[in-house]
Structure formats: C-alpha cells, structure tokens
Amino acid sequence: MTLKSGTTSACAACKYQRRKCIPECLLAPYFPADQTKVFQNAHKLFGVSNIVKILKSLDPSQHAEAMRSIKYQANVRDKFPVYGCLGVIRQLYYQIQLLEEEFHSVLSQLEMYRQHHHEVPSQLELGMAPPTNGLHFLTAVSDMPVSMQHSYSNSNNIGYCSSYVDSKDHNNNKNNSNSNSSNNNNNNNNNSSWIQHPFLATNNSSSSNSNENNPLMAIQSQLLVSNTQPLVIQHEVVQDYDELHPFFDTIDDRQFFIHSKEPYDSSCEDSAKETTQAIELVPNNELKNAAACFSLTSVH
Amino acid sequence: MSSSSYSSSPCAACKFLRRKCMPDCIFAPYFPPEEPQKFANVHKIFGASNVSKLLNEVPPFQREDAVNSLAYEAEARLKDPVYGCVGAISVLQRQVITLQRELDATNANLFRYAYNEMPPLRPPQPPPPSAAGQSSGFCYPYQWNDPSDEDNERSSGGN
C-alpha cells in the first residue's frame, strides 16, 4: 500500500482490499480511511464490485445520494441482520397506524366538545337550566382506553427502530441506542410477533415519556372520577353521535395518505380547514333534536 | 441441469448459477424454482456469496424472513438505484412527523375544550425544511446521520 505524495492515505475500500488507492477511485470520497466499520458493513451486504456497478450505472451527480443510502442500508442490516430496512419500514407503518387511530379518537372527542359548545348557548336561549354536571357529555369520552394515552406518549419515540426480534440483538445485546428494545426483545423469541414489539417496547418506556402528557392524563382521570351520574340524556346524545360517526369517518379518511408512496405534502392547515368545514355542515335539526330530548328528560 | 436420483428440481439459485443443487443447498428452501426472478434480483444487488454468508449467520428459523427482506431490498434498489428502499423510509418518516404534529395540535384543542375555553386555535405552521446535513431533503429516521461519529464511537468504545 503506497501513499500518493505522502499526504493522502488509501481509502477504507482500498485499504481493505490491499491495493493502491488511485485518484480516480470511485469509493474513496465515500469511505475515508477512518470509516472502516462503515465500509465493512457495506462490503458485507453489497460487495465492492456491486457497489461500483451501482455507481457506474448512475449519473455522477447522483453518486453521493446513492452512497448515502447504500451506507445507511448496510448499517441497518448490520444492526438488524434479519429484517434490515424492511423492519424499519414495517415499524414506521405501525407507528402511522397507531397515530391514525389516536388521531381518530381525539377528533371524535373534539367533535363532542364542539357539539356541547354549540348546545349550551342554545339551551340557555331557550330558558333551560344549564347542566349541573358540565362533564356529563364526556361519558363516551371517558370510555377512551387509557392505552391510547400511552400510545400518544410513546409516539415521541418515532424514528427509532427500537425493537426487533433479531438474533444479533438477542445474542449480543450490543445496541447502545436501543437498550430499551433489547431488554424487551429478550423476552420474545417468536418470529411472527415482532410487529407487537414496537408497541411493547415503547409501552414500557411510556412511564418516562408520560410526563409530557400529564395535563391530558389528569383530564382523563378527572373524567373517570366525576362520571358518577349517568343521566338519561347521555344515551340520547350518544345516539346522535353514533349517527354522525360514519360522516366523520369519511372526513378522517380524506386526511391521510397511508397508501400513497408520494411525499406527504399536504399541510396541516389544509387538513384542519377541511375538517372544520365538514363539521360545520352538520344539520342544525340534529342539535335541536338533542335539545328537545334534554328538555323532555329534565322535566321529571 | 438434469436432476439427480433425488428427483427434485434444482432451486432457483442453482439454476441461475448453473450448478448442481445439493441436498444441503442453503438457498433451496428459500428460492424455489418457481420464483427465478427473486434470486436473480438478490444476486444482482447483493451477490450469491454475500447472501450465503448472511444466511449462515442467521438462525435457521429466521432465514426465511432474512431472505424475504433481502428480496424486498433488492427489488427496491433495482427500481430506484439511487435510494432503494431508503426512499420509502424517508417518506414514511415524514408522514409520522406530520401526523405527530397534527395529533399534538388536536390534543391541544381538546385540552382547551375540556375546560370550555376559547375555540380551537389555528393549527401550527408546516415544519421548516429539513435540518442541515440533508441536502436532498431525505430524512433518515434511524439514529445514524453521521457515519463518522458513529464509527468513532464504536472504535473508542471498543468492539
């Protein structure tokens, strides 16, 4: 191995292959001499010849990005020899699913609040007594599983391929950044249950992240405690909400593009506006029906 | 190639490589002869020897998953030679971030309504472009943005 003019050393690729690193070496810009592990990962997965083949099939302007993705893919494969990047993709899909479910749940709760927000002024106008328990309409809300809060708090762990049933994780326990997952994975060797692991792993770490959502957790606990007077009105109101659910389902479906592989470009503002406009289209007669039911049941 | 007295057709790998498919062929269980393209893709991107070494390092009960993931990655790389399957990761990561922001905003509105406060505020502005170091705008979700840092950490920590 010789040095060129004594100033540059051979790249990691040429060092590994014990050959002279020429100035035109394709891999030299991407595998400096101090990144031996990165090169070893890439060489183990792709092989030098295959990497060079890929680069030669591309325009020189694309080499940097291609090498970046190759190194990333190889590094992920080194950490997760079984699933590699496919495992990361599946975990992201799972996170998206969890977030969507949680979002649907929160939207439905928000709609209930908005209905109540509109109902109270109309009841006051009709000369009716305001509800003694301002939280009565939250009966349905209190049924929201607390696990959803856990999943919300856990969604802060996005971007971590933190849990895979993987032989390397199971045997070596060498993950410095995924210590939570390795502790959880040791208890699970089922090959088909890996999808459950991200939730289990993040669920165990929820205690550390739940502090960020204490206000919402406090609200939830208050709802559970204060729900001691199941009024008849609740059933009537719930029925109205049930009738509205299919409508809201269509709203929610339009907001997400889980099946699309195109960049997710829709803005939060547009989706929020769309939701607001759709909710405003709720017919007013349903509000009046709810008010009428309330008046009939409160007379007794 | 004619089959031996075992009366079993060679696997897709041995067919492709034009060699005799032995009974202990490591590829045979995962590359059936009915799916020649699967091995062709994997061989083109990763190479048969690399795949063989990878499979030997993996427990037998996980080899099928390993092969399927390699086949997926190979096909993705053939369709997109620049980004491969990492492109899908970037898109999904953006979706997660956007969904998380929307969820945060909606939860904030819900909190306000819970105490019968003002109507919901406007949702937050879209996030600024990606952080420095990602000239292409791609988001690499895994904790690995700077290979040199990770490589230095590993070498200093001792393998």
Asked whether residue B152 is assigned to any structural domain, the reply reads no
The alpha carbon of residue A44 is apart from the nearest alpha carbon of chain B, in Å, by: 6
Q: Are residues B52 and B110 in the same domain?
A: no
Share of chain B above pLDDT 70, in %: 68
What does the pLDDT look like over A111-160, one tens digit per residue? Answer: 887 887 776 666 666 666 555 544 444 344 344 333 434 444 344 443 43
pLDDT at B89: 96
Please, what is the end-to-end C-alpha distance for chain B in angstroms?
46
Domain count, chain A: 2
pLDDT (0 to 100) of residue A17: 87
> Which residue from B58, B96, B120 is facing A82, i.e. has the nearest CB?
B58
pLDDT tens sequence across B52-89: 999 999 999 999 999 999 999 999 999 999 999 999 99
Contact B81 A88 (CB under 8 A): no
Q: How confident is the model at residue B9 (pLDDT cuts 50, 70, 90)?
A: confident
Instruction: Provide the pLDDT for residue A130.
Output: 53
pLDDT of residue A49 exceeding 80: yes
Same-domain status, A58 and A106: no
Q: Quick check: is B115 in a domain?
A: yes
Residue B129 lies in a domain: no
A139 found inside a domain: no
Domain presence at residue B111: yes
pLDDT surpasses 60 at B43? yes
CB spacing of A44 vs B72 below 8 angstroms: no
Query: Which residue of A54, A75, A82 is in closest CB contact with B69?
Result: A82
Asked whether residue B101 falls in the same domain as residue B70, the answer is no
* pLDDT band per the 50, 70, 90 thresholds, residue B100: very high
> Residue B58: which domain range?
9-79
Q: For position A235, what pLDDT does the model report?
A: 41
- Region B91-96: mean pLDDT is 96
Mean pLDDT of chain B: 80
Which pLDDT belongs to residue A53? Answer: 94
A69 contacts B83? CB cut-off 8 A: yes
Question: Is A62 domain-assigned?
Answer: yes
Model ipTM value: 0.76
For residues B91 and A262, the answer to whether their CB atoms sit within 8 Å is yes
A54 vs B8: which has the higher pLDDT: A54
- The pLDDT value given to residue A204: 41
pLDDT at residue A246 greater than cutoff 80: no
Verify whether the Cβ–Cβ distance B73 to A85 is below 8 Å: yes
Residue B109 — pLDDT band, cuts 50, 70, 90?
confident
Mean pLDDT, rounded, for A239-261: 40
A159·B49 Cβ contact <8 A: no
Chain B nearest-CA distance from A111, in A, is 9
Residue B39 CB neighbours (<10 A):
26
- Both tokens of A60, joined, read 């020189």
| Per-residue confidence (pLDDT) for residue B137, from 0 to 100 | 56
Q: B64 and B17, same structural domain?
A: yes
Q: Looking at the structure, tell me whether residues B97 and B72 fall in a common domain.
A: no
Say whether pLDDT at B1 is over 50: no
pLDDT the model gives residue A39: 94
Q: Which of A34, A49, A268 sits opposite B148 (nearest CB)?
A: A34
Q: Which of A17-26, A125-134, A178-187, B123-132 has the lowest mean pLDDT?
A: A178-187
- Higher-pLDDT residue of A184 and B127 is B127
**pLDDT above 50 (res A273):** no
Look up the domain containing A38 and give its range: 12-79
Residue B34 has pLDDT above 80, yes or no: yes
- pLDDT at residue A166 greater than cutoff 70: no
Chain A residue with CA closest to B121: the answer is: A272
Residue B98 within any structural domain of the chain: yes
Kindly state whether residue A68 falls inside one of the protein's structural domains: yes
Q: Is residue B50 part of a domain?
A: yes
Same domain, B71 and B107: no
Residue A280: inside a domain: no
Query: Which is higher by pLDDT, A242 or A59?
Result: A59
pLDDT confidence of residue B125: 54
Provide, as residue numbers in chain B, all residues whose Cβ is less than 8 Å from the Cβ of A34: 148, 151-152
Average pLDDT over residues B92-119: 86
Whether the per-residue pLDDT at A186 is higher than 50: the answer is no
Q: What percent of chain A has pLDDT over 70?
A: 36
Same domain? A30 vs A48: yes
Domain match, B66 and B86 both: no
Q: Are residues B49 and B86 in the same domain?
A: no
The pLDDT, as a whole number, for residue B138 is 59
* pLDDT above 60 for A183: no
Residue of B nearest to A47 (CA): B46
pLDDT on residue A40: 94
Q: Are residues B20 and B69 in the same domain?
A: yes
Residue by residue, what is the 3-state secondary structure of chain A?
CCCECCCECCCHHHHHHCCCCCCCCCCCCCCCCCCHHHHHHHHHHCCHHHHHHHHHCCCHHHHHHHHHHHHHHHHHHHHCCCCHHHHHHHHHHHHHHHHHHHHHHHHHHHHHHHHHHHHHHHHHHCCCCCCCCCCHHHHHHHCCCHHHHHHHHHHHHCCCCCCCCCHHHHHHCCCCCCHHHHHHHCCCCCHHHCCHHHHHHHHHCHHHHHHHHHHHHHHHHHHHHHCCCCCHHHHHHHHHHHHHHHHHHHHHHCCCCCCCCCCCCCCHHHHHHHHHHHHHCCCHHHHHHHHHHHHHHHCC
Q: From the CA of B89, how many Å to the nearest CA of chain A?
A: 6
Q: Mean pLDDT score of chain A, rounded to an integer?
A: 61
> What is the DSSP secondary-structure string of B32-56?
-TT-HHHHHHHHHHT-HHHHHHHHH
Indicate the pLDDT class of residue A238, thresholds 50, 70 and 90.
Answer: very low
| Residues B73 and B86 grouped into a single domain | no
Q: Which residues of B touch A124 (CB under 8 A)?
A: none
Task: Say how many CB pairs under 8 Å bridge A and B.
Answer: 217
A155 in any annotated domain: no
Cβ-Cβ contacts under 8 Å, A105 against chain B: none
Indicate yes or no: CB of B100 within 8 angstroms of CB of A158. Answer: yes
> Quick one: pLDDT band at residue A10, thresholds 50, 70, 90?
confident
- In chain B, residues with a C-beta closer than 8 Å to the C-beta of A166 are 62
Length of chain B: 159
CA B153/CA A140 separation, integer angstroms: 51
